[in-house]
Amino acid sequence: MEIKNIYVTRPCLPSLEEYTELLRRIWESKTLTNSGPFHQEFERALAEHLGVKYVAIFANGTLALITALQALRITGEVITTPFSFVATTHSIWWNGIKPVFADITGSDYNIDPVRIESAITPKTTAILPVHVYGNPCNVEAIQKIARTYGLRVIYDAAHAFDVRINGDSVLNFGDLSVLSFHATKVFNTVEGGAIVCHDEETKQRIDYLKNFGYDGETTVIAPGINAKMNELQAAYGLLQLKSVRSCIESRKLVAYKYRELLKGVSGIRCLQDIQGVGHNYGHFPILVEKSNYGVSRDALYDFLRQRNIFPRKYFYPLISNFPTYMGLDSAQPSNLPVANEAAKNVLCLPIYPDLDLGTVATISGLIKTFGRKTV
Ligand SMILES: *Cc1c(COP(=O)(O)O)cnc(C)c1O
């Protein structure tokens, strides 16, 4: 069967009619940015939707990460995971802080609390874990370490929009959580991001920092940056909020279909739902175990691409293996065996709300027949 190009993700878009109406209001008001009415409304609506206290919206997730570290005045060394998108470590680097990599666990690909503890030095001031693929980190263990050693915790929650633990937002853990609203994420504002915080004072500081450090017209409280979200994107985001829950429901159907169809395939392992966790199904990673599947992750990747299916090797290469970071002691592969294995064997399959289940069956069928020892 001839398949048209199937990419790893496709964005959810708001209704064009409704967006046109909001654009008309922006045109009439001529308020385009600088914390206009849509900016303010979107921040309030997000806080309510996510079940968090304060949200500060940003032009993108990377600027939000950089600003989050500034907001807490983080210095010295920050412990983080190499199994993420490069922006996680870049945000540390842009603050003149030394990233220290700690290995992940093989069960959920998140930073391993045991390895965090052994990476702590007198210079460590914070931990920057990532809820990889939206699966929550071991937030309790991380909190305990932070309390014991007096460290701050900033979660890169770029994958964790609407993720809950026993009904509570995962964004309520740690000192700050950072979201990305890039077009490839579960919830998008074309480009965009946010910092979630728990008290008004921190929210105020973040708001100053994202607007050059300005407090009023003539006072600058710190060397801030320009990281504001504009009114066109805030209005778009407001509309998107209405459909994000149903988008997640559709993603769930795709994920469950893959799991059902790939169940008996020897050497292919899918992540399962975690008890008590409300997932967002933003990614569908599979682990390709060559010894059982018969062929490697890379061979499967090439095979699918030749058939116009474009999965992604998230996260290959590991951040610690990019030339910029590979010189760090903590970046040595011997320090990060689990992450290096994951980078070699994980493949993220296409998943998005309007991916039809017939295509999911086609992709699963191809994966099944390509393995040698399929049962
Ligand atoms: C997408 C992403 C970012 C960066 O967000 P942008 O909005 O693209 O700047 C940071 N961290 C992780 C884990 C991401 O997936």
> What are the domain boundaries of the chain?
16-240, 244-371
Sheet holding 168-169, edge to edge: 168-169, 164-165, 277-278
Q: How is 11-56 classified by DSSP, letter by letter? A: -----HHHHHHHHHHHHHHT--SSS-HHHHHHHHHHHHHHT-SEEE
pLDDT value at 75 more than 80: yes
Please name the residue that has the structure tokens 């149903």.
246
pLDDT value at 1 more than 70: no
CA of 296 to the centre of ligand 1 (A): 28
Label residue 372 by pLDDT band (50, 70, 90).
Answer: confident
pLDDT at residue 373, as a whole number: 53
Q: Give the residues surrounding ligand 1 with Cβ less than 6 Å away.
A: 60-62, 84-85, 87-88, 130, 156, 158-159, 180, 182, 193
pLDDT at residue 375, as a whole number: 45
pLDDT at residue 347, as a whole number: 98
- CB atoms < 10 A from the CB of 39, how many? 21
CA of 43 to the centre of ligand 1 (A): 19
Cβ neighbourhood burial of 161 (10 Å; 0-12, 13-18, 19+):
buried
Label residue 4 by pLDDT band (50, 70, 90).
Answer: confident
Q: Using an 8 Å Cβ cutoff, are 206 and 71 in contact? A: yes
pLDDT digits (tens, 9 = 90+) for 44-60: 999 999 999 999 999 99
pLDDT at residue 320, as a whole number: 98
CA of 13 to the centre of ligand 1 (A): 19
pLDDT digits (tens, 9 = 90+) for 152-171: 999 999 999 999 999 999 99
pLDDT digits (tens, 9 = 90+) for 120-130: 999 999 999 99
Q: Using the atom order of ligand 1, give the atom closest to the CA of residue 91.
A: 10
Q: Report the topology of domain 244-371.
A: Aspartate Aminotransferase, domain 1 (3.90.1150)
Average of pLDDT values for 118-139? 98
| Tokens, residue 149 | 């050693």
pLDDT digits (tens, 9 = 90+) for 61-73: 999 999 999 999 9
In CATH, what number does 16-240 get? 3.40.640.10
Q: How is 285-299 classified by DSSP, letter by letter? A: EEEE-HHHHSS-HHH
Domains 16-240 and 244-371 agree in fold: no
Average of pLDDT values for 261-276? 96
Q: Using an 8 Å Cβ cutoff, are 281 and 248 in contact? A: yes
Nearest CA to ligand 1 atom 2: 158
Mutate which of 85, 161, 185 for ligand 1? The one with the most ligand atoms within 8 Å of its CB, which is 85
pLDDT at residue 216, as a whole number: 93
pLDDT digits (tens, 9 = 90+) for 310-359: 999 999 999 999 999 999 999 999 999 999 999 999 999 999 999 999 99
CA of 28 to the centre of ligand 1 (A): 33
pLDDT at residue 14, as a whole number: 95
Distance CA(88)–CA(62), nearest Å, equals 8
CA of 85 to the centre of ligand 1 (A): 6
Q: Please tell me the pTM assigned to this model.
A: 0.97
pLDDT at residue 374, as a whole number: 46
Mean pLDDT of the chain, nearest integer: 97
